Amino acid sequence: MNIYSWNVWDDNKTPELVLKFIQQLDFDILCLQEVPESLLQKLSVLPYAQVHFVDLTRLRPEKEETCYLVILTHYHIIHHSSFLTCPKPVYPLRTRAFLGLGLFGFTRLKDHGALYADIRIPGSEHPIRVFSLHLRLSGPVERQKELALVSSHMNKAYPTMVCGDFNIIDQPLQKSFSWLLGSSIREALPWYPERRRMEQQFDGLGLKNVLRGKKTNTRFANQLDHILVPKEFSVTAAGVCENSFGSDHYPVYVTIKS
């Protein structure tokens, strides 16, 4: 079974390449983040079972723009649900000032969401619950809280996979950027152990990060994108696609032994 996750980037200038890649991709389950509405409409006519929910809404000076989380699969979705992880963030003054400059495409945001689908896998006793999510850049502690909220929607009776852009900053020199986006000074220090703490959180949920250490972003040498799988699952392959197709993230994948 092939599972993919990809932040396609809502400012992607080549959506036709994104759509073509998805149409040609050999996947069983595909989780997407930052899907703009124009692409969502084109995905809706593809021959897959699919569900979607708001990823985030950008509050630009001229208008609001919403992008979406999407789960697509060849299998039957027996149930799905969604919830907001942060309806309306409260930004400190420094963050409001920085976002007001509009540098590097950063804007104020609202309506951060998460999405899951219970998918019936042929030959399996139980369905699998698959999450597509996009954690905020506002700081490590906030990301941990969001993941904890997501975990409250896990069903102990079902195996669970969590896919998405977690925005974990591994590089020490980049951590100081967290302070501009709202974190405490302590969280922005180069030695703050976000990766270790998040991996401990994964472990406590019975999940393993089989892509750990992979570079999944075109700009930074970080593993931002994750496919967390149950510890008992046998993983035969895990990797990062070579082409980003206009996104600032590469598609990532995991193959699980049936």
Q: Which residue has the tokens 């309806």?
A: 87
By residue range, what is the domain housing residue 15? 2-256
pLDDT for the residue 220: 84
Amino acid letter for position 61: P
pLDDT for the residue 178: 87
Of 178, 76, 63, the closest CA to residue 127 belongs to: 76
pLDDT for the residue 20: 96
Q: How many structural domains does the chain have?
A: 1
pLDDT for the residue 41: 96
CA torsion, ordered 98, 101, 107, 108, to nearest 10 deg: 60
3 state SS of 95: helix
The two structure tokens encoding residue 68: 């979406």
pLDDT for the residue 165: 98
- Buried b or exposed e, range 8-28, using 16+ CB within 10 angstroms: bbbebeebebbbebbeeeebb
Rounded CA-CA distance 29/159 in Å is 14
Q: Give, for all 258 residues of the chain, the pLDDT tens digit.
A: 999 999 999 999 999 999 999 999 999 999 999 999 999 999 999 999 999 999 999 988 888 999 999 999 999 999 999 999 999 888 999 999 988 887 777 888 999 999 999 999 988 888 999 999 999 998 999 999 999 999 999 998 999 999 999 999 888 888 888 899 999 999 999 999 999 999 999 999 999 999 999 999 998 888 999 999 999 999 999 999 999 999 999 999 999 986
Helix H or strand E segment including 83: strand 76-86
The pair phi, psi for residue 83, each rounded to 5°, is: -160, 160
pLDDT for the residue 11: 92
Of 31, 55, 188, the closest CA to residue 113 belongs to: 55
Of 107, 85, 101, 90, the closest CA to residue 165 belongs to: 85
The two structure tokens encoding residue 130: 């698959």
pLDDT for the residue 258: 67
pLDDT for the residue 86: 92
The β-bridge partners of 227 are 163
pLDDT for the residue 102: 78
pTM for the whole thing? 0.96
Burial of 226 (0-12, 13-18, 19+ CB in 10 A): buried
Tell me the CATH number at 95: 3.60.10.10
Rounded CA-CA distance 72/3 in Å is 10
Q: Which own/partner contact pairs does 231-239 have at CB distance under 8 Å and 24+ positions apart?
A: 231/206, 231/207, 232/159, 233/159, 233/257, 235/210, 238/210, 238/211, 238/214, 239/211, 239/214
